[in-house]
Amino acid sequence: MKITTSAAVAAPREHVFSALNDRGVLRRCIPGCEELTDVDEETFAVKLKLGVAGIKGKYAGTATRQDLLPPESFTFALDGKGKTGFVRGTAAVRIETQGEASRIDCEADVQIGGAIAAVGSRLIGAVARKLTRDFFRELADAIGAPPDVSDQNEIDALPDPGRDERLE
């Protein structure tokens, strides 16, 4: 599943870039983060209690930073799992200057499996958006920018019986 997210944060991009690479800030902004520990320079481990409303699960995983290009872009390789499923994939982050503010584009390409994929497919996209929205709201707050996070999100690549590419 591909999840494309964009957000505007009213802060210069150097600021945003370093915040996104600051593990203290990440610990604070990652939704449901209960523990964030360093593995090495590029990799950290997280324990999350994640979900919405009563549908919560505990997940453990790692994020490894790749292709670091300050202050423009980097990629996280993600790998996490819990009792209700797993998530693996990458999230590529680009930051652009837009006047006074910065525009963050995040393109995640993730594989979701287990019970959450089997029974929650209709909600996964929406949950992912909500979590990213929460993340950027916190990020803006951490940077000290106005909390007004405008976002434009897109989810695609769910196979759709109405438009199965195999059939075209």
Partner 1 sequence: MYPAPFEYLRPATIDEAIALLVTHGEDAKILAGGHSLIPAMKLRLAQPRYIVDIGRIRGMSHIRETAGRIVVGAMATHDAIERSALLREKCPLLPETAGHIGDVQVRNKGTIGGSLAHADPAGDWPAAVLALDADIELAGPRGRRTVKADGFFVDLLTTATAPDEVLVEIRVPITSAKVAYEKTEQKASGFAIAGVAVVVEQGGVRVGVTGVAAKAYRAKAVERALAGQSAPTAEGIARAAALAAERVEALGDIHASPEYRLHLAEVNTARALRRAYGN
Partner 2 sequence: MSAQAKKYSGQPLKRIEDPRLIKGIGTYTDDLRLPGLLHVAFVRSPHAHARVTSIDTSVAKAIKGVVAVLTGADVNEKCGVVPCAAAIPDLKLPKHTVLAGDRVYFVGHPVVVVVADDAYAARDGVDAVEVEYDPLPVVVNPEEAIKPGATLTHPDLGTNVAFTHNVNGGTDIDEAFRRADRVIKQRVYHQRLTPMPIEPRAVVASYHAGEGTMSIWSSTQVPHYLRTLLPGMIGVAENKLRIVAPEVGGGFGAKLNVYAEEALCGHLAMRLGAPVKWAESRRENATSTIHGRDQIGYYEVAVKNDGTILGLKARTIADLGSYCQLLTPAVPTLTGLVLTGCYRIPAVKMEIVGVYTHKMATDAYRGAGRPEATYLIERLMDLVAKELGLDRVDLRLKHFPAPTEFPFGTACGVTYDSGNYQGALEKARQLADWKALMSERTAARKSGRLFGVGVSTYVEICAIGPSAAMPAGGWEWGCVRVEISGKVTAITGTSPHGQGQETSFAQIVADQLGVSIEDVVVMHGDTAVAHYGRDTYGSRATVIGGTALVMCTDKIIAKAKIFAAHLLKVAPDQVAFADGQFSAPGAEKTLSLAAIAGEAYVAKNLPPGLEPGLEASSFFEIPNFTFPFGTHIVAVEIDRETGQVAIQKYVAVDDCGPQINPLLVEGQVQGGIAHSIGQALFEQTVYDENGQLLTGEFMDYAMPRATDIPEYILGHTVTPSPTNPLGIKGVGEAGTIGATPAVANAVIDALESLGVTHLDMPLTPERVWRAIHQRTVATV
Q: Which residues bind partner 2 (CB under 8 A)?
A: 1, 83, 85-86, 88, 111-115, 117-119, 121-122, 157-164, 166-167
Q: CB of residue 84 vs partner 2: minimum separation in angstroms?
A: 9
Q: Does 168 bind partner 1 (CB under 8 A)?
A: no
Q: CB of residue 86 vs partner 2: minimum separation in angstroms?
A: 6
Q: Does 123 bind partner 1 (CB under 8 A)?
A: yes
For the segment 6-65, give every residue that binds partner 1 (CB under 8 A). 52-57
Single out the residue of 2, 3, 14, 28 nearest to residue 137, CA to CA.
Answer: 28
Identify which of residues 69 and 115 has a Cβ nearer to partner 2 in the complex.
115
From the DSSP assignment, how many helices (H) and strands (E) are in the chain?
3, 8
Identify which of residues 88 and 94 has a Cβ nearer to partner 2 in the complex.
88
Single out the residue of 61, 70, 76, 52 nearest to residue 126, CA to CA.
Answer: 52
Identify which of residues 57 and 89 has a Cβ nearer to partner 1 in the complex.
57
Q: CB of residue 70 vs partner 2: minimum separation in angstroms?
A: 31
Identify which of residues 7 and 11 has a Cβ nearer to partner 1 in the complex.
7
Q: CB of residue 89 vs partner 2: minimum separation in angstroms?
A: 10
Cα distances (angstroms) measured from residue 12 to each of 7, 101, 126: 13, 6, 29
* 160: DSSP letter: -
Q: 94-132 in b/e burial notation, b at 16+ Cβ within 10 A?
A: bbeeeeebbbbebbbebebebebbeebeeebbeebbebb
